[in-house]
């Protein structure tokens, strides 16, 4: 399973400081959806059997070959839309409303005024009659599996972000680490693409903002951010508490 997030507790004599590790997902990580759907459809699709007489038949399967083909096609469309466009929740709702209005208007014109709009388009795609080829899809999935595994290594070695009350550590394999002091920074979440959020198991961006509301640092596509934000938000608010505790532990000049 892909590394999503890890929470650790560090003790250093002073009060324990929480640390949470998140991973920024590259675009290749989202290939898991296409790969998983392809292998799942291979199990649900009828098997192709060639008899001794050279006759090709399909047997078994829960779904028809045509249904599997259309499901895989829409899976690819979803994946491409996630990569090419940033659809926030507002944009997605707006696009859904526009498509729904156009669809209802077209059906109204066809039903009452007998003006063919949607029907010819649907009939055209139906006549194309795509069929699911298990062998071809299996080859595609195995080839896509290679960059997906590479994305996991990239996440582990180059896209690891460790958030603590005092600093943010970014690890870059072979190059070193980058430390960002949290002094004067506030943090916000932004889910700029609903499609990528779903593919990234609640993925989103973490924005480091200064007092002038300028974005100083952006951590994109943090996997599982939606589910880990409560822990991360608690850690990001610990700095003031830790500083107050340290000041309380310092000896006063009157006591010397």
pTM beyond cutoff 0.85: no
**What is the C-alpha to C-alpha distance for residues 223 and 108, in angstroms, rounded to an integer?**
43
Query: For residue 253, what pLDDT band results from cuts at 50, 70 and 90?
Result: very low
pLDDT at residue 69 above 90? yes
Facing residues of 191 across strands?
A: none
Query: For residue 212, what pLDDT band results from cuts at 50, 70 and 90?
Result: confident
pLDDT at residue 33 above 90? yes
* Tokens of residue 215, six digits: 């974005």
Query: For residue 59, what pLDDT band results from cuts at 50, 70 and 90?
Result: low
Yes or no: say if 45 and 60 are a contact pair by the CB < 8 Å rule.
no
Domains of the chain plus CATH, in order, are: 5-25+159-243 (2.30.29), 29-151 (no CATH)
Which of residues 16 and 64 earns the better pLDDT score? 64
- Position 73 scores a pLDDT of 96
Yes or no: say if 88 and 196 are a contact pair by the CB < 8 Å rule.
no
**What is the C-alpha to C-alpha distance for residues 29 and 199, in angstroms, rounded to an integer?**
9
Question: Which secondary-structure segment (H or E) carries 118?
Answer: helix 118-128
- Position 256 scores a pLDDT of 46
């Amino acid at each position: 399973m892909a590394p999503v997030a890890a929470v650790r507790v560090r003790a250093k004599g002073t009060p324990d400081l929480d640390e949470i590790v998140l991973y920024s997902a590259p675009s290749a990580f989202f290939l898991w959806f296409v790969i998983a759907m392809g292998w799942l459809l291979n199990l649900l699709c009828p098997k192709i059997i060639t008899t001794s007489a050279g006759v090709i038949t399909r047997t078994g399967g829960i779904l028809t070959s045509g249904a599997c083909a259309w499901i895989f096609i829409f899976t690819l469309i979803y994946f491409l839309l996630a990569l090419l466009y940033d659809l926030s929740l507002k944009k997605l709702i707006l696009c859904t409303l526009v498509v729904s209005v156009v669809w209802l208007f077209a059906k109204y014109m066809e039903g009452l005024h007998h003006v063919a709009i949607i029907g010819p388009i649907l009939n055209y795609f139906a006549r194309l009659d795509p069929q699911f080829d298990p062998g071809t899809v299996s080859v595609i999935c195995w080839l896509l599996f290679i960059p997906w595994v590479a994305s996991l290594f990239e996440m582990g070695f180059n896209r690891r972000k460790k958030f603590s009350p005092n600093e943010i550590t970014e690890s870059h394999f072979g190059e070193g680490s980058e430390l960002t002091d949290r002094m004067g920074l506030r943090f916000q979440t932004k889910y700029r693409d609903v499609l990528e959020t779903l593919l990234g198991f609640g993925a989103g961006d973490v924005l480091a903002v200064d007092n002038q509301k300028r974005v100083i640092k952006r951590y994109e596509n943090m996997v599982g951010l939606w589910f880990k934000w409560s822990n991360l938000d608690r850690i990001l608010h610990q700095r003031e508490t830790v500083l107050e505790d340290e000041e309380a532990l310092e000896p006063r000049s009157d006591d010397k």
